[in-house]
Chains A and B, each alone.
Chain A
Amino acid sequence: MTDPDPMDGATDDAPPAADRQPLDLGGSVAESAAPDFRAARRHVLLELLRLAADLRSDGVDVPPSGPLTAARALASVGLADKPRVEAALRASLLSSPEGIDAFADAFPTFWHRLRTGLDAIATDDGGASPDDDASSDGSAPDDPGTLPDAQVPASGDDTGGGETEVLIPTERRYASGDRATEDSETGDARRYSAVGGRERVEVPAGGLRDEETAAIDRFVDALATLPGRRHRDAPAGDRVDARRALRASLGTGGAPIDLPRTEPTPSELRCCLLLDVSGSVLDTIDRAVLLDVAARLTDRARQSRVFLFDTDLVDATTAFARADGDPAATLRDAEFEWGGGTKIGAAVDAVRRQHPAAVDRRTVVVVISDGLDVGDEDLLADAVTWLADRAGALVWLNPLAVSPAFEPKTRGMATALPYVDALFGFARPADLAEAARQIERRGLGGPIGYEHDPRRQRAEAGGEGE
């Protein structure tokens, strides 16, 4: 199930909503002799839908009926007072604090477009037809003099299709699918070789912000496989719901015939984390973030095993268990090395031979790797098949898959993909929230993965338009 296209769903519904009460178009419109209310209303609704679409493309979870509520709210508060409009839209379009920053970014642009468009309509003497005006409002005349309090959007008349960026913004530095170019030839050789030069783990302590932690927690909750303490109704459950059974027995004169049953809701995670720490991954993703995410993930799961691999596999479970918020320091003290070549097949095979108990049918295996494998292809296929058979689920997080241009065509990724339950892009903790959202919506067996990421789809749509 995907959201209905916001444009279609809401344009059908929104006009009647606004019909109920005439929009208060603010001072400038009210003063003019015969304002074109139809065009004004159309303009407001279009801008509203555009704002909702922009927020969605920024990863904000705007409910499908959000624009509808927002239209009603605007009809109630009017369009003249900026703080009130902002409060009204915030209340109707947002439903979690994660979206507040994106909203704060998007609102000035919305307000500027809205007011310039309305002023243009109000001062329009009937030269252009309303439809022309509304459909070309992206290039509506920008008259700074009429709007002292509105900010001119930095992107100018760009209507948003091309705004989606290909680079992956992280708070600490920009990472992208492209290699850094400043490295010398030896550096490149090291990254792509199978044996590679390894180095000690040496990373400044990172620390996660609250919303990043929340994203990771949500991801863990979405993957939960172990029974928790809550119970839910299930016809074949193992526990009788005494309360409901008693209530049902009332209908049969006190004889408990029908015994409703419950089963525990899965709310805890047992996970096995396979962390690719080869040179190629370390160059694409912020190392501190990688370690912090792994630490938080293992901390949040009820049971977890962590393995680091490049050409060799090391069990880092105890190191992460002792990390206490600073995994980088713990790994450094334990003299872990990383940054070699990538042999995913050999690594998984080592798990199979040395730590077979780490994976069972209730374990979710989370692999963080870019899939640039230089090892034996058959070994990889064998190993991943074993992993997929044995584990409850196999989730692959690929740092390269956040790029809209990503296709799983590298040898390693193409080999592993058929056995993977879900392949998500992962470059910053916020990407986990998107992964969690998809898993919550559609389940691990459903149509989930990087290709269903709305940001990617939007970038593709924008790319075709250009």
Chain B
Amino acid sequence: MTGDDSPFESVSESDLRERFERADYVADDRTVTTVQLALDLGRPLLVEGPPGSGKTELGKVLAAAFDTELIRLQCYEGLTAENALYEWNYTKQLLAVQADEGTVTEEDGGSNTRRESVFDQDYLLERPLLRALRADGEHPPVLLVDEIDRADEAFEAFLLELLSDFQVSIPEFGTISADHPPIVVLTSNRTRALSDALKRRCLYLHVEPPSFETEYEIVRRKVPELDAAVAAEVCAVVDRLREESFLKRPGVAETLDWARAVAALRHDDADSLSADEIERTIGCLLKEAEDVDRLDATLLEDLRAAAAAADDRLEAEPT
């Protein structure tokens, strides 16, 4: 099942952690172990979690960390095998047949002029999945199948052969299998349930909103221009906001947006966040009109209090 000479078998956990570190990706122990297992066992990794929790980022970081190609397939409703895997270059085929340079049949009878079949490499347009299988390089590429839940169930079924054997069959051409199986990362927002057959082939990673300390670490790395004390306040406010039952709870992506917004608005003063400031920039965090409506004076005061207490929280935690 797994390529025995896969270059990833030797990747140790500490090595992986270091690579994540260098790519500025703050990963908890569970994520590191799961990713290492996926590399080790040659299994696809199914990452689920709320939007904005860094699922797609994980795929990108993996590619960056191993200095290899990232092949991304964004799924959408109506995505078909032709868009994702391969397509024959019909125009070129048609021209070749008309110019008598190629033929659609296998054997060409007793004709002396050698004509090649138009079902050949030259007429094949590689789409992301095929590209991932045929890529050659030092490291196999990272194949990121993004938001698989948006694709039709038929497409999901189509992925099964690819994910279990890392090979695809092209009827006119034959079976293409990968020399080095790519690292496959699938992400899902859970807008619909995935089939058991797909889930069974994957290792499962559920990304949860990060803890206060982890989020602080992420903000510090990704938004270095923001003052450290204010960054702590930003994280504390988001942490408090997540306790509310909003329609769309802010994810890490929203925190980073907001941190950048705060950094852009206040230039170098290091006062703590005011309620007014929070209210004016809340559009970075809450993306539903009803959620924004729920932001009343009491909640704002709570948020401000959480921001004020942020420094103590950070000091209480040994870092």
Contacts and interface: CB of A to CB of B under 8 A. Distances in A.
Interface of A: 61, 63-66, 69, 72-73, 76-77, 83-84, 86-88, 90-92, 94-97, 100, 207, 214, 218, 221, 229-230, 232-233, 243, 247, 250-251, 440
Nearest to B203: A91
A218 B194 CA distance: 12
Interface stretch (B37-45, B174-182, B254-262): B37-45
Interface string B39-63: 0110100101000000000000000
B204 A243 contact: no
Interface string B197-229: 001101111100000000000000000000000
A96 B33 contact: no
B92 interface: no
Contacts of B245: 207
Interface string B166-206: 00000000000000000000000010111010011011111
Interface of B: 13, 29-30, 33-34, 36-38, 40-41, 43, 46, 48, 77, 80, 82, 88, 90, 104, 152-154, 190, 192-194, 196, 199-200, 202-206, 245
Nearest to A251: B104
A232 B37 CA distance: 36
B82 A90 contact: no
A243 B33 CA distance: 44
Contacts of A221: 192-193
Given A64-B200, A232-B154, A250-B90, A76 B192 contact: no
A76 B30 contact: no
Contacts, number: 86
Contacts of A95: 46, 194, 196, 199-200, 202, 204
B37 A73 contact: yes
Contacts of A90: 30, 34, 204
15 contacts: A64-B200, A73-B37, A76-B37, A76-B40, A83-B29, A84-B13, A88-B37, A90-B30, A91-B37, A91-B205, A92-B203, A94-B206, A95-B200, A95-B204, A97-B206
A87 B29 contact: yes
B154 A88 contact: no
A61 B193 CA distance: 12
B129 to A, nearest CB: 18
Contact of B34 (A87, A96, A218): A87
Nearest to A83: B29
B154 A243 contact: no
Contact of B37 (A66, A77, A218): A77
Given A63-B196, A65-B200, A88-B37, A97 B29 contact: no
Nearest to B197: A63
A97 B48 CA distance: 8
Nearest to B200: A63
Contact of A61 (B29, B33, B196): B196
Contact of B41 (A61, A69, A96): A69
Given A92-B203, A96-B48, A77 B33 contact: yes
A24 B89 CA distance: 53
Contacts of A214: 190
Nearest to B249: A210
Contacts of A72: 41
Given A69-B43, A73-B41, A97-B48, A92 B204 contact: yes
Given A96-B193, A243-B82, A83 B33 contact: yes
Given A86-B30, A88-B33, A100 B43 contact: no
A96 B199 contact: yes
Contacts of A218: 193
Nearest to A229: B77
Contacts of B192: 221
Given A61-B196, A83-B33, A69 B152 contact: no
